[in-house]
Amino acid sequence: MTLAACSSDPKDDPNSQANLDKLYAEAKDDLASGSFDRAIKTLEKVEGRAAGTLLGQQVQLDLAWAYHRAGERAQAVTTLERFIKLNPSSPAMDYAIYMKGLVNFNEDLGMFGRLASQDISERDQQAARDALLAFRQVLEQFPESKYAPDASVRVNYITNTLASYEVHVARYYYNRSAYVAAANRAQRAVQEFQNAPATEEALYLMVQSYDKLGLLPLRDDAQRVLQKSFPTGIYASGGANADKAWWKFW
């Protein structure tokens, strides 16, 4: 009887609520102290033992955050996607989607600052596009969420950054006399990011590319749109700085 009593002691059960709470508390302490690798190992244990519970849901979100802070973007995204799929009615859904955007956003945060110092035609912008989709989803599905204001700011930033990327690729092609590719890439920027500042330069590159190709009707159409959309801009008038990218004016 004594042996039976000892074997049924909750303290010896790794799946007991007491042990799960203890492990989770240790993981939270590791997260707070920046010991993300150790926190990940502990959270993975708790997640496996607390599957299907509210604690299990919370642990998934904490685990995604720990992966993110540890630089494991793919693992963080996979964990968030699993949470979103398994918990469609969770009150934390807005946070999960917002965090998915944040993980991808931080992965590509330095892109804008590196545009002028690398071969931009080879850079993959998928992370930024994934972040944009996630932040837009927050705004569309959870407009009253406390994460919505920040998501809106990030949407504007990413939109401008992606537009700039498309324009720089167009300029890259134009400077190498690949005028068809330049016109197509500039047109893509105009179509996808109509309100971005870089649209002015995109229209200018379309005008120049069509002119080089001898496509005069298309050149004139692009020129009319440029003058109507940016009547006081330097590209409409062909000013002295027209050959500079819009972000290089300072």
Task: Evaluate whether 91 touches 104 at the Cβ level (below 8 Å).
Answer: no
Q: Supply the pLDDT for residue 83.
A: 95
DSSP string computed for 43-83: HHHHHHHSTTSHHHHHHHHHHHHHHHHTT-HHHHHHHHHHH
Q: Supply the pLDDT for residue 249.
A: 37
What would the mean pLDDT of 32-53 be, rounded to a whole number?
A: 91
Mean pLDDT lowest among 54-58, 138-142, 237-241, 244-248: 244-248
> What percent of the chain is predicted at pLDDT more than 90?
65
- Measured in whole angstroms, how far is the alpha carbon of residue 68 from the centre of its chain? 13
Mean pLDDT is highest, among 144-148, 162-166, 193-197, 236-240, for: 144-148
Q: Supply the pLDDT for residue 234.
A: 84
Mean pLDDT lowest among 52-56, 134-138, 202-206, 213-217: 52-56
Per residue in 193-244, pLDDT tens?
Answer: 988 989 999 999 999 999 999 999 999 999 999 999 998 888 866 544 455 5
Instruction: Report how far residue 131's alpha carbon sits from residue 83's, in angstroms, rounded to the nearest whole number.
Output: 17
Q: Supply the pLDDT for residue 17.
A: 82
Q: Supply the pLDDT for residue 194.
A: 86
Higher pLDDT, 247 or 175: 175
Q: What is the domain class of 13-87 according to CATH?
A: mainly alpha
pLDDT of 191 strictly over 60: yes
* Mean pLDDT score across all residues of the chain: 85
Q: Supply the pLDDT for residue 11.
A: 56
Segments making up each domain of the chain, as ranges: 13-87
Q: Supply the pLDDT for residue 250.
A: 35
pTM attached to this predicted model: 0.76
Higher pLDDT, 242 or 106: 106
